[in-house]
Amino acid sequence: MNQKNKNNLNDELAVIILAAGYSSRMKAFKPLLPFGSVTVIEYIIQTFLDAGIDHIYVVTGFRKDELEVILKKYPVNIVINQHYDQGMYSSIKEGVRGLQKKHKAFLLHPVDIPLVKVSTIETIVASYRETNKGIIYPSYQMKKGHPPVISSKYITGLLNFDGTGGLKAFLRKYDDTDGHFVNVEDEGILLDMDYYKDYEVLKKQQTV
Protein backbone atom coordinates (compact mmCIF):
# COMPACT_ATOMS: atom_id res chain seq x y z
CA MET A 1 0.00 0.00 0.00
CA ASN A 2 1.44 3.37 -0.97
CA GLN A 3 1.58 6.24 1.51
CA LYS A 4 -1.26 8.16 -0.14
CA ASN A 5 -3.65 5.22 0.13
CA LYS A 6 -2.53 4.58 3.70
CA ASN A 7 -3.28 8.18 4.62
CA ASN A 8 -6.68 7.96 2.95
CA LEU A 9 -7.55 4.91 5.04
CA ASN A 10 -6.39 6.66 8.19
CA ASP A 11 -8.51 9.71 7.38
CA GLU A 12 -11.51 7.54 6.63
CA LEU A 13 -12.10 6.57 10.26
CA ALA A 14 -12.20 8.32 13.61
CA VAL A 15 -13.13 7.38 17.16
CA ILE A 16 -15.23 9.38 19.60
CA ILE A 17 -14.39 8.60 23.23
CA LEU A 18 -17.13 9.67 25.64
CA ALA A 19 -15.63 11.02 28.86
CA ALA A 20 -17.93 13.88 29.89
CA GLY A 21 -20.15 12.35 32.57
CA TYR A 22 -20.29 12.62 36.34
CA SER A 23 -19.28 8.99 37.07
CA SER A 24 -21.95 9.21 39.77
CA ARG A 25 -22.33 5.48 40.42
CA MET A 26 -18.57 5.04 40.60
CA LYS A 27 -18.19 7.86 43.14
CA ALA A 28 -14.80 8.54 41.55
CA PHE A 29 -13.93 10.23 38.25
CA LYS A 30 -13.49 7.32 35.82
CA PRO A 31 -11.23 8.92 33.17
CA LEU A 32 -8.53 9.86 35.66
CA LEU A 33 -8.48 6.68 37.73
CA PRO A 34 -5.09 4.93 37.73
CA PHE A 35 -4.90 2.05 35.27
CA GLY A 36 -1.49 0.46 35.44
CA SER A 37 1.15 3.10 34.77
CA VAL A 38 -1.36 5.51 33.19
CA THR A 39 -4.94 6.68 33.67
CA VAL A 40 -8.06 5.05 32.25
CA ILE A 41 -8.44 7.69 29.52
CA GLU A 42 -4.78 7.34 28.52
CA TYR A 43 -5.08 3.56 28.36
CA ILE A 44 -8.04 3.82 26.00
CA ILE A 45 -6.40 6.46 23.82
CA GLN A 46 -3.27 4.34 23.49
CA THR A 47 -5.34 1.30 22.53
CA PHE A 48 -6.89 3.15 19.60
CA LEU A 49 -3.57 4.63 18.55
CA ASP A 50 -2.03 1.16 18.60
CA ALA A 51 -4.90 -0.04 16.40
CA GLY A 52 -4.05 2.60 13.81
CA ILE A 53 -6.86 5.04 14.56
CA ASP A 54 -5.14 8.40 14.15
CA HIS A 55 -8.19 10.65 14.51
CA ILE A 56 -9.35 10.61 18.12
CA TYR A 57 -12.03 12.90 19.54
CA VAL A 58 -12.51 12.97 23.31
CA VAL A 59 -15.75 14.48 24.59
CA THR A 60 -15.25 16.19 27.94
CA GLY A 61 -17.57 18.03 30.31
CA PHE A 62 -17.44 17.35 34.03
CA ARG A 63 -13.99 18.23 35.41
CA LYS A 64 -12.90 19.07 31.88
CA ASP A 65 -9.97 21.25 32.97
CA GLU A 66 -8.35 18.38 34.89
CA LEU A 67 -8.91 16.03 32.00
CA GLU A 68 -7.48 18.49 29.50
CA VAL A 69 -4.14 18.50 31.34
CA ILE A 70 -3.82 14.80 30.52
CA LEU A 71 -5.25 15.01 27.01
CA LYS A 72 -2.79 17.67 25.91
CA LYS A 73 -0.07 15.02 26.02
CA TYR A 74 -1.76 13.07 23.22
CA PRO A 75 -2.65 13.75 19.56
CA VAL A 76 -6.38 14.05 20.23
CA ASN A 77 -9.15 16.53 19.49
CA ILE A 78 -11.01 17.79 22.55
CA VAL A 79 -14.77 18.35 22.17
CA ILE A 80 -16.46 20.06 25.11
CA ASN A 81 -20.03 19.11 26.01
CA GLN A 82 -21.46 22.01 27.98
CA HIS A 83 -24.64 20.00 28.57
CA TYR A 84 -23.05 16.87 30.03
CA ASP A 85 -25.64 16.90 32.81
CA GLN A 86 -28.19 15.82 30.19
CA GLY A 87 -26.66 12.37 29.89
CA MET A 88 -24.53 10.31 27.53
CA TYR A 89 -26.56 10.94 24.41
CA SER A 90 -25.80 14.65 24.69
CA SER A 91 -22.10 13.71 24.55
CA ILE A 92 -22.68 11.51 21.52
CA LYS A 93 -24.27 14.45 19.72
CA GLU A 94 -21.43 16.81 20.62
CA GLY A 95 -18.85 14.27 19.54
CA VAL A 96 -20.57 13.72 16.21
CA ARG A 97 -20.83 17.48 15.65
CA GLY A 98 -17.12 17.77 16.34
CA LEU A 99 -16.12 15.26 13.66
CA GLN A 100 -14.36 16.52 10.59
CA LYS A 101 -16.39 15.92 7.45
CA LYS A 102 -13.68 13.85 5.79
CA HIS A 103 -14.37 10.84 8.01
CA LYS A 104 -16.55 8.24 6.31
CA ALA A 105 -17.23 6.39 9.55
CA PHE A 106 -16.50 6.57 13.26
CA LEU A 107 -16.26 4.35 16.30
CA LEU A 108 -18.08 5.30 19.50
CA HIS A 109 -16.53 4.28 22.79
CA PRO A 110 -17.49 5.08 26.41
CA VAL A 111 -14.67 5.69 28.87
CA ASP A 112 -15.95 3.03 31.27
CA ILE A 113 -15.06 0.14 28.92
CA PRO A 114 -11.26 0.19 28.99
CA LEU A 115 -10.20 -3.35 28.14
CA VAL A 116 -11.07 -3.68 24.45
CA LYS A 117 -8.17 -5.31 22.61
CA VAL A 118 -6.23 -3.69 19.79
CA SER A 119 -6.96 -6.78 17.68
CA THR A 120 -10.70 -6.29 18.18
CA ILE A 121 -10.55 -2.75 16.84
CA GLU A 122 -8.49 -3.92 13.89
CA THR A 123 -11.01 -6.69 13.20
CA ILE A 124 -14.12 -4.50 13.19
CA VAL A 125 -12.40 -1.83 11.11
CA ALA A 126 -11.42 -4.48 8.56
CA SER A 127 -15.01 -5.72 8.53
CA TYR A 128 -16.30 -2.21 7.88
CA ARG A 129 -13.96 -1.87 4.93
CA GLU A 130 -14.73 -5.32 3.52
CA THR A 131 -18.53 -5.27 3.80
CA ASN A 132 -21.17 -2.89 2.55
CA LYS A 133 -22.70 -2.54 6.00
CA GLY A 134 -23.06 0.80 7.75
CA ILE A 135 -22.98 -0.46 11.35
CA ILE A 136 -20.42 -2.99 12.59
CA TYR A 137 -20.66 -4.49 16.07
CA PRO A 138 -18.06 -6.58 17.88
CA SER A 139 -19.72 -9.61 19.45
CA TYR A 140 -18.53 -11.94 22.20
CA GLN A 141 -20.50 -15.11 22.94
CA MET A 142 -23.52 -13.77 21.03
CA LYS A 143 -23.52 -10.45 22.92
CA LYS A 144 -22.74 -7.22 21.11
CA GLY A 145 -20.39 -4.77 22.76
CA HIS A 146 -18.29 -1.66 22.20
CA PRO A 147 -17.15 0.05 20.14
CA PRO A 148 -19.50 -0.05 17.14
CA VAL A 149 -18.31 1.33 13.81
CA ILE A 150 -20.95 3.68 12.41
CA SER A 151 -21.11 5.08 8.89
CA SER A 152 -21.23 8.87 8.68
CA LYS A 153 -24.43 8.53 6.67
CA TYR A 154 -26.15 8.17 10.05
CA ILE A 155 -24.90 11.48 11.45
CA THR A 156 -28.01 13.48 10.53
CA GLY A 157 -30.25 10.84 12.06
CA LEU A 158 -28.18 10.67 15.24
CA LEU A 159 -28.35 14.44 15.65
CA ASN A 160 -32.11 14.54 15.04
CA PHE A 161 -32.87 11.61 17.36
CA ASP A 162 -34.25 12.70 20.75
CA GLY A 163 -32.07 10.25 22.66
CA THR A 164 -34.87 8.13 24.10
CA GLY A 165 -33.34 4.73 24.79
CA GLY A 166 -29.88 6.02 23.92
CA LEU A 167 -27.62 5.04 21.04
CA LYS A 168 -28.78 1.43 21.24
CA ALA A 169 -32.36 2.44 20.42
CA PHE A 170 -31.27 4.51 17.44
CA LEU A 171 -29.03 1.85 15.93
CA ARG A 172 -31.49 -0.98 16.57
CA LYS A 173 -33.74 0.42 13.83
CA TYR A 174 -31.08 -0.45 11.26
CA ASP A 175 -29.67 -3.70 12.64
CA ASP A 176 -31.65 -5.96 10.30
CA THR A 177 -30.87 -4.05 7.11
CA ASP A 178 -27.47 -2.46 7.71
CA GLY A 179 -25.97 -4.07 10.80
CA HIS A 180 -23.18 -6.64 10.83
CA PHE A 181 -21.91 -8.60 13.81
CA VAL A 182 -18.28 -9.70 14.04
CA ASN A 183 -17.34 -12.43 16.50
CA VAL A 184 -14.23 -11.59 18.53
CA GLU A 185 -12.43 -13.41 21.32
CA ASP A 186 -12.55 -10.38 23.57
CA GLU A 187 -14.71 -10.27 26.67
CA GLY A 188 -13.43 -6.73 27.19
CA ILE A 189 -16.03 -5.39 24.75
CA LEU A 190 -18.66 -6.16 27.42
CA LEU A 191 -16.82 -5.27 30.63
CA ASP A 192 -17.76 -1.87 31.96
CA MET A 193 -16.92 -0.30 35.28
CA ASP A 194 -20.04 1.33 36.64
CA TYR A 195 -18.98 0.79 40.24
CA TYR A 196 -15.67 0.98 42.05
CA LYS A 197 -15.64 -2.78 42.61
CA ASP A 198 -15.84 -3.22 38.82
CA TYR A 199 -12.86 -0.91 38.38
CA GLU A 200 -10.83 -2.89 40.91
CA VAL A 201 -11.48 -6.09 38.97
CA LEU A 202 -10.68 -4.60 35.56
CA LYS A 203 -7.49 -2.82 36.56
CA LYS A 204 -5.99 -6.18 37.54
CA GLN A 205 -6.43 -7.28 33.91
CA GLN A 206 -4.79 -4.31 32.19
CA THR A 207 -1.44 -4.78 30.46
CA VAL A 208 0.30 -1.36 30.52
**Rounded mean pLDDT, 156-165:** 95
In this prediction the pTM is 0.93
pLDDT at 2: 40
pLDDT: is 207 or 201 the higher one?
Answer: 201
pLDDT at 102: 80
Domains contained in the chain, CATH given: 3-203 (3.90.550.10)
Report yes or no: 18 and 111 within 8 Å, Cβ to Cβ: yes
CA-to-CA distance for 1 and 6, rounded, in angstroms?
Answer: 6
Tell me the per-residue pLDDT of 40-57, one tens digit each, with 9 for 90 and over. Answer: 999 999 999 999 999 999
Report yes or no: 58 and 41 within 8 Å, Cβ to Cβ: yes
CA-to-CA distance for 82 and 60, rounded, in angstroms?
Answer: 9
- Determine the 3-state secondary structure of 43 from DSSP: helix
Mean pLDDT rounded to a whole number for the chain: 92
- Determine the 3-state secondary structure of 30 from DSSP: helix
Tell me the per-residue pLDDT of 93-121, one tens digit each, with 9 for 90 and over. Answer: 999 999 977 899 999 999 999 999 999 99
Tell me the per-residue pLDDT of 167-189, one tens digit each, with 9 for 90 and over. Answer: 999 999 999 999 999 999 999 99
Name, in order, each residue with C-beta under 8 angstroms of 172's C-beta and a sequence gap of 6 or more.
Answer: none
CA-to-CA distance for 141 and 98, rounded, in angstroms?
Answer: 34
